[in-house]
Chain A
């Protein structure tokens, strides 16, 4: 059985097993649980006390709570990843056995937060390093130990680069003479032009 929200692949077995556990919740509680899971996916912390209160009525054990959060997390994030619209997601979940009210409340939460989820996932995508800021300064060298009259302008650049894994920002500074800088600038302008041509 191929499902769009799993990227045209089979649905994982553990998600199928969780559907029956999720059906034990009422659809109102399901919606509140979905809101909590979306908060977690968007990077805010999940409020576990609220989750326990919601699941206490359905008498979930500790393992069930974790499994239901994991299943909802998978469904919402993978549907956002493959850009499935709310209607198709609702149909596919009903095919898996989730009752109609639960599917519709899940899909309503999904549709409301789809653009936020996709923006967050775009931010979380693989990045090697990021330019945090660039600073510059132009100096005029009067003389040096080698030559008495130098009279040369020079630019000093400092790029602050952020490493996405550790979050550290390392500064990289270097100097350039005017000619080299002219070359550097023209190369970057060409690259900018190619990028501009691509922008859809």
Chain B
């Protein structure tokens, strides 16, 4: 699958052709840092001063590089497709091989970062429980009622939520049976067939 680059994108990346290979290597490093932790405008200023160009050009160059990498990683394109896609940019031979190397080295890392950015539902974080027995209450003395008190901690994209739940032993057995049945469902022939085909 070939990446189709927008004209504006090609313009931004065209800047990379005008500078040395070493500078492009540095830009690649800055682009990876951008992907990992976000933009760093001070770096753009200092780089622009060293190369005596506008800081905007530097910023566009880095962002263009970053976009190229994320799009390539998103579609998981092969080396040949990547090389063909950047052929249209008119880069020199070593520049192309440098970009290819950068893509191959960081592909898995970019994919992990991209996967963390997708939509999140509340998921399990921690479960605390305690077993207690009610021996008396204001209305009824001399009772023995066992109960399980649980505190379910869930996390939804950084926010934590706490739910306090209570159950009696019969319900607890039923719950564990249902959940174990759900786990066992993975071992059924139907699920095994699907998993084998995905892999």
Residues in B neighbouring A125, C-beta threshold 8 A: 128, 130
Total inter-chain residue pairs, C-beta < 8 Å: 20
CA distance A128 to B130 in the complex (A): 11
Binds A, one of B48-56, B94-102, B134-142: B134-142
Residues in A neighbouring B164, C-beta threshold 8 A: 128
Residues in A neighbouring B129, C-beta threshold 8 A: 126
- B36 interface residue per 8 A CB criterion: no
CA distance A126 to B147 in the complex (A): 14
Decide if A126 touches B151 in the complex (CB within 8 Å). Answer: yes
Q: Which of B135, B136, B138, B149 contacts A126 (CB 8 A)?
A: B149
Whether A194 touches B136, Cβ cut-off 8 Å, given contacts A125-B130, A126-B129, A126-B130, is: yes
Decide if B138 touches A187 in the complex (CB within 8 Å). Answer: yes
- B162 interface residue per 8 A CB criterion: yes
Q: A103-130: contact bitstring with B at CB < 8 Å (1 yes, 0 no)?
A: 0000000000000000000000110100
Tell me, rounded to whole Å, the shortest Cβ–Cβ distance linking A162 to chain B. 15
Interface size class of B (residues with CB under 8 A): 10 to 19
CA distance A198 to B142 in the complex (A): 12
Residues in B neighbouring A198, C-beta threshold 8 A: 135
Q: Which of A165, A187, A194 contacts B141 (CB 8 A)?
A: A194
Decide if A165 touches B162 in the complex (CB within 8 Å). Answer: yes
List residues of B (106-144) whose CB comes within 8 Å of A's CBs. Answer: 128-130, 135-136, 138, 141
Most B CB contacts (10 A, CB to CB) among A125, A126, A187, A190 go to A126
Residues in B neighbouring A194, C-beta threshold 8 A: 135-136, 141
CA distance A198 to B133 in the complex (A): 12
Tell me, rounded to whole Å, the shortest Cβ–Cβ distance linking B154 to chain A. 13
Q: B144-155: contact bitstring with A at CB < 8 Å (1 yes, 0 no)?
A: 000001110000
CA distance A165 to B151 in the complex (A): 10
* Closest residue of B by beta carbon distance from A165: B162
CA distance A128 to B149 in the complex (A): 9
> B: which residues have CB within 8 A of A?
128-130, 135-136, 138, 141, 149-151, 162, 164
7 additional A-B pairs beyond A126-B129, A194-B136, beta carbons within 8 Å, are A125-B128, A126-B128, A126-B130, A126-B149, A128-B164, A190-B138, A191-B136
> A: which residues have CB within 8 A of B?
125-126, 128, 165, 187, 190-191, 194, 198
A–B pairs, 20, beta carbons within 8 Å: A125-B128, A125-B130, A126-B128, A126-B129, A126-B130, A126-B149, A126-B150, A126-B151, A128-B149, A128-B151, A128-B164, A165-B162, A187-B138, A190-B138, A191-B136, A191-B138, A194-B135, A194-B136, A194-B141, A198-B135
